[in-house]
Amino acid sequence: MRTNPVRRALKTGHTVVGSEISRLRSPEVARLYALAGFDFVFIDMEHSPFTLETVAEMIATARAAGIVPIVRIPQAEYAFACRVLDQGAQGIIVPRVNTPEQVGDIVSWMRYPPHGIRGFAATSAQTDFATVAPETFIEANNRETLCVIQIERREALDYLDEMLSFPGVDVACLGYMDLSVDLGIPGQLEHPQMVSIIERIIAAAHRHGIAAGIIGPQIEPLIHWMQKGIRFVSYSTETLLLQEAASSAVRRLKSAAMLKL
């Protein structure tokens, strides 16, 4: 059974960086992210049109390329969590987690008895076609699977310490767009209220021995908050990165063409 270098890095106080796939259905994007040096690929099922079959192909390619596949499920439900884990995802991101009860459910879905309620299925997607004893399989999955909860609603702030202290949670990830919308300050990452909340999440995560995380399309704010203590960072998406690289290339080439005239 393979290890999860992202989870292990976070447990030892290191920072990990990745990027999202949310639109292009090619599993080769995961391979490109691996070649670029990202630690993980964040495959989105909340806002994308991806089917489970498409996501399974992306996960398989990521595993083969040596990059950790993490899937954001559409919402906190057992079937969503377990089906992507059975396809070889090495972690899940759960959106809109608001209460300690939800956290308890999520962790239980990711662990086998007696530590949880996950149904047993030693799929080849998880074992990479190796023969693995059930005891080894269960212990490895319970140990290596990453659990990321997203803080995206005002309600979650009322239960922050209880939620982050729950054994099995690895990352408290700020969903700043959703949270800012819920607070009535949409997209204002630098608003004093938002700054205070991010600092509070970082402090709470540190207090409970887990990592604070952030997902965002602009690199400078991410770097700023990395310097403040955020250690799980997902930057941009495959379409934004492609668009930015293409636009930059076109500007340079057309500028060079103008110089010839």
- Rounded to an integer, what distance in angstroms lies between the CA atom of residue 127 and that of residue 132? 7
Do residues 59 and 87 touch, judged by C-beta distance below 8 A?
Answer: yes
Query: Positive or negative, the Cα torsion across 167, 168, 170, 172?
Result: negative
Query: Which has the closest alpha carbon to 17: 44, 42, 35, 46?
Result: 42
Burial class (CB in 10 A: 0-12, 13-18, 19+), 259: exposed
What is the set of active-site residues?
47
Pairing of strands 232-237, 171-174: unpaired
Do residues 67 and 33 touch, judged by C-beta distance below 8 A?
Answer: yes
Query: Hey, is 28 helix, strand or coil?
Result: helix
